[in-house]
């Protein structure tokens, strides 16, 4: 709890003076006004985050949190739960979707076992920070204790602190966990004050009961646990997931260390809502990568209040959208660093 509190205390708003200087420079670059659109906004945001007019963001990593869910027992997925374990082992081998995209964008993929069911081998290349072997079945009581939820947030913070010492400049969030769209949709239903039917999708593959059964399971979990929408940690503990807490912790840790963090798709956006609910200033450090194809993604983005950059019809997770968006963020930094102003080239407008 102390690490979480200290991290929250360290989160400051972006540097408005530096952002004003950045906006002035961007507005005077050799181009028509506003012609680079969102790139200009990201460039200004990067300056505000880093407090450097020429932000350096060439060292990148996607932190992938992996965990299982007790609600799997309710038949909400067509995939074997063992997929979480098997897929987690593939991240260090570079064989997953985010790894393939990360090779193009030059991102390191950091896999964390925060709650995978089973024992990951010590030599697998996965960072072992397991809190428990998956959450408890949230249709029968809380998914985890409040202490475990806080611990998941602090694992994310600790990983960011370690990456910061390695000189990381740009972070992305990713996850792996069969059943985590169920937990994410439950969280969004509570924080967005809507019926699960409006936002429930197939995830990685819905169980034989279909969407209707998945909706009923989510409704039951909310009814039994009665999470407090005014307390994001209570919501996380009662109907969330360890990897969702871990990602929210990564976002809080990134903000505390003044590092921009690229949010992946649906599940990552729900984690971002948790993080921003815990400390609203953290949201100033977020860059949302893409609009997930999951039905709840639009509501999640609206609730977070940040428009995604890309619409690729993707819903893989893993941090794949974050890795894909990294070059766009780098391009924004390059614009403010390498483009000349009209004054610098002797032109007047």
The whole-model pTM stands at 0.96
Q: Is 318 a catalytic residue?
A: yes
pLDDT the model gives residue 1: 78
Residue 315 lies in a domain: yes
- DSSP assignment of 25-93, as one string? HHHTBSSSTTTTTHHHHHHHHHHHHHS-SS-----EEEEEEEE--GGGGG--BSS-THHHHHHHHHTTT
Residue 152, pLDDT > 80, answer yes
Name the residue with tokens 């995978």.
Answer: 116
**Residue 227 has what pLDDT?**
98
pLDDT of residue 278: 98
Residue 10 lies in a domain: no
User: Average pLDDT, whole number, for the chain?
Assistant: 95
Q: Give the 3-state secondary structure of residue 297.
A: helix
Residue 318 forms part of a structural domain: yes
Q: List residues bridging with 195 in a β-sheet.
A: none
Q: Considering 148, 318, 330, 344, which one is annotated as catalytic? A: 318
| Residues in a beta bridge with 172 | 62, 262
- Rounded Cα distance, 183 and 77, in Å: 12
Number of domains in the chain: 1
Q: Is residue 345 part of a domain?
A: no
Is 186 in contact with 146 (CB distance < 8 Å)?
no
Please compute the mean of the pLDDT values over residues 186-214 and round it to a whole number: 84
Percent of the chain at pLDDT exceeding 70: 97
Q: Is the pLDDT of residue 205 over 80?
A: no
The CATH number of residue 272's host domain is: 3.40.50.10210
Give the pLDDT confidence of 3-51 residue by residue, as tens digits. 999 999 999 999 999 999 999 999 999 999 999 999 999 999 999 999 9
Q: Tell me, yes or no, whether 32 lies in a domain.
A: no
- The boundaries of the domain holding residue 140 are 60-328
**CA torsion through residues 319, 321, 324, 326, sign:** negative
For residue 336, being part of any structural domain is answered with: no
**What pLDDT band is residue 210 in, cutting at 50, 70 and 90?**
confident
Given a cut of 90, whether residue 209 has pLDDT beyond it is no
What backbone phi and psi angles, to 5 degrees, belong to 263?
-85, 135
Q: Is 213 among the domain residues? A: yes
Q: Which tens digits make up the pLDDT trace of 70-110?
A: 999 999 988 999 999 999 999 999 999 999 999 999 999 99
In a domain, 147, yes or no: yes
């Amino acid at each position: 709890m102390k690490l979480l509190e200290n991290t929250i205390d360290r989160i400051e708003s972006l540097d408005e003076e530096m952002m004003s200087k950045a906006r002035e420079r961007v507005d005077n670059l050799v181009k028509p006004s506003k012609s680079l659109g969102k790139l200009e906004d990201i460039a200004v945001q990067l300056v505000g985050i880093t407090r450097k007019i020429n932000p350096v963001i060439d060292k990148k990593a996607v932190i992938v949190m992996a965990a299982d869910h007790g609600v799997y027992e309710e038949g909400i997925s067509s995939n074997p739960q063992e997929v979480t374990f098997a897929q987690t082992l593939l991240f260090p081998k570079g064989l997953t979707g985010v790894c393939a995209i990360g090779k193009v964008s030059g991102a390191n993929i950091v896999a964390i076992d925060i709650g995978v069911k089973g024992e990951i081998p010590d030599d697998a290349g996965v960072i072992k920070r397991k809190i428990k072997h998956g959450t408890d079945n949230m249709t029968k009581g809380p998914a985890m204790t409040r202490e475990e939820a806080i611990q998941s947030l602090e694992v994310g913070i600790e990983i960011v602190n370690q990456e910061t010492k390695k000189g990381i400049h740009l972070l992305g969030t990713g996850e792996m966990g069969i059943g985590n769209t169920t937990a994410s949709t439950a969280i969004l239903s509570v924080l967005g004050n809507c019926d699960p039917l409006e936002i429930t999708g197939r995830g990685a593959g819905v169980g034989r009961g279909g969407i209707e059964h998945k909706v009923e399971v989510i409704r039951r979990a909310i009814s039994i646990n009665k999470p407090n929408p005014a307390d994001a940690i209570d919501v996380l503990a009662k109907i969330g997931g360890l990897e969702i807490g871990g990602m929210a912790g990564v976002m809080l840790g990134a903000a505390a260390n003044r590092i921009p963090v690229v949010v992946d798709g649906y599940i990552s956006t729900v984690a971002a809502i948790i993080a921003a609910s815990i400390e609203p200033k953290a949201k100033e450090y977020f860059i949302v990568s893409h609009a997930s194809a999951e039905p709840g993604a639009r509501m999640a983005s609206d609730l977070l209040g940040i428009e995604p950059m890309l619409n690729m019809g993707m819903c893989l997770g893993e941090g794949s959208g974050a890795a894909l968006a990294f070059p766009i963020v780098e391009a924004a930094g390059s614009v403010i660093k390498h483009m000349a102003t009209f004054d610098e080239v002797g032109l007047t407008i």
